[in-house]
Structure 1
Amino acid sequence: MPLPFRVRDGRPSPRVTDALVALVVTLVVVIWTLVAARYTDEPAARTVVGWIVIAIGCGALCFRRRWPVAVAVVTLLACAVYYPVSAQDGPLMITFALALYTLAAEGRFAAAVALAAATLLAVGLGELRQQPGHRQIDDTSLAMLSGWLISLVAVGRAQRTRLAYLHEVEQRALAAEREQEARARQSATEERLRIARELHDVLGHSISLINVQSGAVLHRLGKGPAPDVGLAAAEEALQAVKATSKDALRELRATLGLLRRADEAAPTSPTSGLALLGELVERARSAGLDVRTAVAGSPAALAPPLDLAAYRIVQESLTNVTRHAGARTALVTLDWGPRELRLRIEDDGEGAPEESPQGSGIRGMAERARAFGGDLTARNTADGFLVDARLPLADAGHAPLPTTDPSA
């Protein structure tokens, strides 16, 4: 079966190429025959038949790649008629040689071998029938013809193999390019989701606290307290809003710093982690939630990505408690084991609706845990709601962390 043809810019089509080759071969055969005709003499009828056969054999080359078997048979028959009839002995054999090579190059190897063998057999039988001393081809020439035909078939076969190899290499290169593009798109999608999750955790937590704090002071002011009491409550709420918004801006700058170009200065603000858990707890307390922390085991120094993931899980959990749970108290437990860190955030709120217990925030926390080979579960309990996360420690040392909450 012929290989698929790929038209490249600046190169002629196969039909044009075949026509040009046929034209060149025709010129060679015609010029050679005209030169040979000056030294031979034959009847006009034989000359006419010879030129007709030349036209048929050379013209057939225009279709050598469209119908390779038919062209090879036509050129062989043309040679079989031309040489016994014509005394000019032109180089019409070139047409059959080119057709035989094309036949092998187009993948018709069995047909090429069969035609080459038939040619040798016909020539051999024809010479055996000649009278002694009247042979046209001696044994040496017959051996040379055999080698010539075998070489044509072998070269055509090699060309076919080469084209098949180049085609396979091209297909593999295209497949590798498509795979690389798919991986690049997947990486870009994952990076967008990661940045979206970071922004959700940073802004969602801080804005939720600001909303709760503002709502609480407005509720107190709506009761018409004394001016000095109302002013103190407003001042306290504004201080809490200021601190919360400052922390939000710090974390937002750190997150957006991931998108900076390589030639820009890196952000200098500290990266969020469990070392800042105390500040996180204080902000939740300023919103009216009584948060306690507990630490079990020996704290270990975490890699920055894992440290940030643990912090974000606690942050998102407290955000959900503040916004949705209607809870009064929450307990954050850090259980340090030899190979994993367990995070438990419990509250005494109303819990999640049974029909949709997990929102986007919980899914984001679960994705963070799975990214490090851990897992996260969230469920209603008899007293409220529980988030339980497991984060494996990858050969972390046991350097002590700063105390997260002095009052815990």
Structure 2
Amino acid sequence: MNEARRRWAADALLAGVLLVIGMGGTRAAGLVQERPVTAFTFVLVAVVALSLVVRRSWPLVTLGVAAVGVSIYLSLGYPYGPIFFSFLVSVYTVARHRPLKPAAIAAGAALTVLLVHTVVDGNTMGLGPAAAWVAVPFAVGVTVRISREAAAQARDDLARRYADEERLRVAQEVHDVVGHGLSAINMQAEIALHLLGKRPEQAEAALTAISRTSREALDELRVTLALVRRTREGETRAATAGLARLDDLVARMSETGVPVEVEVTGDRRDLPAAVDLAAYRVVQESLTNVLRHAGAASATVRLAYLPEEVSVEVVDTGRGAAGPPGGGHGLVGMRERVAALGGEFTAGPVEGGGFRVYARLPLP
């Protein structure tokens, strides 16, 4: 059953319940109040109650039928009874499902129609109760509408925030993968061009490295883009990048002429996927910055496996800058990636020359 049918069924059930209550309660009210109860009394009760079947589809029509029906009911001197419950629901529905201004105008008009009986019988004592039967359900309806609109807005804002975070995460992954691959290919291409005329055999090795690096970068890019695809079970495909691929990364850097030394403290072990990926990306982006900006330099990667955290440090012997002022997003991306896991990140020039990147990643 779709949403529209469920609403119709619920409103029909409510109308049926109020109809039964109205039929039984009106007769009892007439006996207690010693007021007349005729066949037309029950017709009015039925019309007002059954108008609630379309209350959410046509709330203003429902309120108009209820107001006119109750006004006629009171003008004929019938007993105060359950017919007011149907009127109460119609006022609430208008306030709940219509904007404030048109809902207030409709409620005011309904109150005016409802007060016709005070002119007919000259009894102004009915002004207060009539106003209450309009004001109270109207206030409740407006309150419910505002609270639900606020909740819906909060859900939309949360969904947008999650979507923005997901886009930023994917953009960062693509930046790291493509940036590193293109930097390595660019360096190897320059080497090949330089050696092509003088030492063609070494140029061929550089071209072979370009082919391998580009293929690996494309494979990793495919896996990264697959992260945004959900399986039918709603699970995200796991990324393959991690510290287990550190040796391949170091080998690619060495082929470009940047010697990299790796120092490991503690016992290597499997890390949570998010921590493992973040540590690898910090090393990858740091070495990419060395390749781009440090000039003729070497780099040292230090990994420390501690009981409650893992730390990554990359130090180079280059010019001591991570890039031109205000250029690039590498350091910003690394800082955000580490902060998202509750870690600490620092980066800056080293006294005496070089640049240092340090990240501490707590283990859950």
Indicate the TM-score class for this superposition, using the shorter chain for normalisation: 0.5 to 0.7
Deviations 1:160-205 (A, max 9, x none): 2x55444333322221111111000000000000000000001110
Q: CA 1:234/1:261 → structure 2, altered by over 3 Å: closer, same or farther?
A: same
- The two structures have a TM-score, normalised by structure 1, of 0.60
Contact 2:181 2:217 in 1 (8 A): yes
Show the counterpart of 1:179.
Answer: 154
Residues 1:11 and 2:39 are matched in the alignment: no
Q: Deviations over 1:256-293 (max 9, x none)?
A: 212334249x9999711111100000000111101111
- Say if 1:293 and 1:332, in contact at 8 Å, map to a contact too: yes
1:344 aligns with 2:313: yes
CA distance in 2, matches of 1:177, 1:10: 23
CA distance in 1, matches of 2:112, 2:321: 73
Asked if residue 99 in structure 1 is aligned to residue 107 in structure 2, the reply is no
1:383 matches 2:353: yes
Given that 1:329 and 1:348 are in contact with CA atoms closer than 8 Å, whether structure 2 keeps it comes out as: yes
1:220 equivalent to 2:177? Answer no
Structure 1 pair 104/292, CA: closer, same or farther in 2 (3 Å)?
same
Structure 1: which 5+ runs fail to align? 1-6, 30-61, 80-91, 108-159, 395-408
| Structure 2: unaligned runs, 5 residues or longer | 1-54, 78-107
How much does 1:235 deviate? 1.4
Q: CA offset at residue 354 of structure 1?
A: 9.6
Residue deviations 1:77-116 (CA, integer Å, cap 9, x gap): x68xxxxxxxxxxxx26x6565342133345xxxxxxxxx
The corresponding residue for 2:293 is 324
Asked whether the equivalents of residues 349 and 384 of structure 1 are also in contact (C-alpha less than 8 Å), the reply is: yes
The aligned amino acid for 1:188 is A
Relative to 1, partners in 2 of residues 1:379 and 1:66: Cα closer, same or farther, differing over 3 Å?
Answer: farther
- Identify the range of structure 1 (353-362 vs 305-314) with the bigger mean alpha-carbon deviation: 353-362
* Preserved CA contact (<8 Å) 2:226 2:237: no
**Residues 341, 362 of structure 2: 8 Å contact kept:** yes
CA distance in 2, matches of 1:65, 1:215: 85
**Residues 99 and 251 from structure 1, CA distance in 2 versus in 1: closer, same or farther, beyond 3 angstroms?**
same
2:103 is the counterpart of 1:20? no
Task: Determine the C-alpha separation between the residues in 2 that align with 1:268 and 1:235.
Answer: 37
CA distance in 2 between partners of 1:192 and 1:304 (Å): 19
The alpha-carbon deviation at position 233 of structure 1 amounts to 1.9
Partner Cα separation in structure 2 for residue 337 and residue 361 of structure 1: 26
> SS state of the match for residue 259, structure 1?
coil
What TM-score do the two structures reach when normalised by structure 2? 0.67
SS where residue 325 of structure 2 aligns? coil
Equivalent residue number for residue 65 of structure 1: 111
